[in-house]
């Protein structure tokens, strides 16, 4: 290859400044207001019908986590006083081409998908034990009650036919009946962000923001005026400084013009963004989405790539690729920071109280520099005021949160 052209992140629209973060945060807050007032808004602001837990919820529950990559079924024991134990846990991928199935493809339908889910539940549940089941379903749903959730539209490139517009609670209940699992009572459907917040608040009452930074991205918060947790579906926020690569990625995605923030920050898209920018400077794998966020993590930490094209790059090209990866990760965490600032500006503009923000997801947990960068950028904007914030990883939020939601519905308290 010839010379690597100088990579200029600012010129390519990859830098997010403090000024940008403040501007995005203000726009985010206004968009929240519009969504809450039922005005046109890219933030759906979906009520969960759940308050914060008291921490005294207890008992044994089944939890199903349907996030888009795997289906995980867990038996969760809530012990009260913010303690729990995961007694059993099994996960299977929704798509396994070697085993010859893909229940997320357009050729699969709702019945096939939910029979698959019910089957996994059947493997874990004991036959003669009655269970309440909480279901984490990590997609935008209009909730009409804690156990009535109508899927608005798929995200994260899932395509299963006949699920959009349907009641997820009904689909799972029917599938469990078809399989003869009448001793299992599904009683709560929650978003994964809500599960994360519930799990955080079970231990720490100051928790009022829950987010996922993983394959997908989204944030929820506790609205004290409405006394409910609101799933913002913030991945769809769209008042953002998009660059040419963002437009390119969006145009070829399954759902163009939607999930703009998610497409700029989430793990599903990060590798592709790095590939799109990087191939301007060097030769990279030609297949769209050939690079995953794990590849980006390897590039940033200087590990040898599993892609022959990357392994064959010259050292100076690898330096540029690393810079692109780092820039993309930094942009992701700064945009997420801006959205948190938007929420804080709405729920406590003068930061009079301490707040705990709980986050789950592979990007936050595993991407080098992500978690520390998020804290640093919040501090960069807020200065000393930033000391009022605690930002924590909340692992297992999807499963434990579903159990907490089921316990709230079942009225199971210490």
Q: Of the two residues 233 and 295, which places its CB atom closer to ligand BGC in the complex? A: 233
Q: Which residue sits closest to ligand BGC, CB atoms considered?
A: 216
Q: Of the two residues 191 and 207, which places its CB atom closer to ligand BGC in the complex? A: 191
Q: How far is the CB of 168 from ligand BGC (least distance, A)?
A: 12
Q: Of the two residues 18 and 106, which places its CB atom closer to ligand BGC in the complex? A: 106
Q: Of the two residues 66 and 131, which places its CB atom closer to ligand BGC in the complex? A: 66
Q: How far is the CB of 307 from ligand BGC (least distance, A)?
A: 26
Q: How far is the CB of 273 from ligand BGC (least distance, A)?
A: 16
Q: Of the two residues 49 and 139, which places its CB atom closer to ligand BGC in the complex? A: 139
Interface residues toward ligand BGC, by CB under 6 A:
67, 138-140, 155-156, 191-193, 212, 216-218, 233, 235, 262
Q: Of the two residues 147 and 263, which places its CB atom closer to ligand BGC in the complex? A: 263
Q: How far is the CB of 389 from ligand BGC (least distance, A)?
A: 21
Q: How far is the CB of 224 from ligand BGC (least distance, A)?
A: 22
Q: How far is the CB of 27 from ligand BGC (least distance, A)?
A: 20
Q: Of the two residues 212 and 249, which places its CB atom closer to ligand BGC in the complex? A: 212
Looking at the chain, how many residues does it have? 414
Taking the C-alpha atoms of residue 374 and residue 377, their distance in angstroms, rounded to an integer, is 5
Q: How far is the CB of 212 from ligand BGC (least distance, A)?
A: 4
């Amino acid at each position: 290859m010839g010379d690597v052209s100088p990579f200029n992140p600012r010129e390519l629209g990859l830098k997010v400044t403090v000024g940008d973060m403040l501007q995005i945060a203000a726009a985010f807050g206004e968009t929240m207001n519009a969504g809450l007032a039922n005005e046109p808004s890219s933030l759906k602001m979906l009520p969960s019908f759940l308050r914060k837990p008291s921490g005294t919820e207890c008992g044994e529950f089944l939890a199903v986590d349907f996030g888009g990559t795997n289906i995980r079924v867990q038996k969760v024991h809530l012990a009260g006083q913010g303690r729990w134990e995961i007694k059993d846990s099994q996960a299977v991928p929704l798509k396994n081409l070697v085993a010859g199935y893909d229940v997320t493809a357009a050729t699969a339908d709702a019945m096939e998908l939910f029979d698959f889910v019910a089957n996994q539940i059947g493997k874990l549940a004991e036959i003669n034990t009655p269970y309440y089941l909480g279901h984490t379903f990590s997609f935008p749903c209009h909730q009409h009650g804690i156990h009535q959730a109508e899927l608005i539209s798929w995200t994260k490139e899932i395509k299963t036919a006949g699920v959009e517009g349907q009641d997820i609670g009904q689909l799972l209940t029917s599938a469990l009946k078809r399989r003869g699992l009448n001793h299992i009572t599904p009683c709560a459907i929650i978003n994964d962000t809500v599960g994360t917040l519930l799990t955080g608040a079970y231990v720490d009452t100051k928790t009022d923001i829950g987010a996922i930074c993983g394959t997908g991205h989204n944030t929820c918060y506790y609205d004290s005026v409405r006394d409910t947790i609101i799933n913002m579906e913030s991945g769809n926020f769209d008042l953002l400084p998009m660059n040419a690569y963002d437009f390119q990625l969006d145009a070829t995605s399954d759902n163009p013009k939607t999930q703009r923030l998610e497409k700029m920050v989430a793990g599903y898209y990060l590798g592709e963004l790095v590939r799109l920018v990087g191939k301007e400077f060097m030769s990279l794998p030609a297949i769209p989405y050939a690079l995953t966020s794990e590849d980006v993590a390897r590039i940033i930490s200087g590990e040898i790539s599993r892609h022959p094209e990357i392994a064959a790059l010259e050292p100076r090209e690898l330096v540029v690729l690393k810079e692109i990866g780092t820039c993309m990760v930094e942009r992701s965490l700064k945009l997420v920071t801006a959205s948190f600032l938007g929420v804080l500006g709405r729920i406590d503009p003068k930061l009079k109280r301490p707040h705990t923000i709980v986050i789950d997801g592979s990007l936050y947990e595993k991407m080098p520099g992500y978690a520390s960068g998020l804290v640093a950028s919040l501090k960069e904007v807020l200065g000393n005021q930033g000391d009022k914030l605690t930002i924590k990883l909340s692992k297992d939020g999807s499963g434990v949160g579903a159990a907490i939601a089921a316990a709230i519905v079942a009225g199971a308290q210490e």
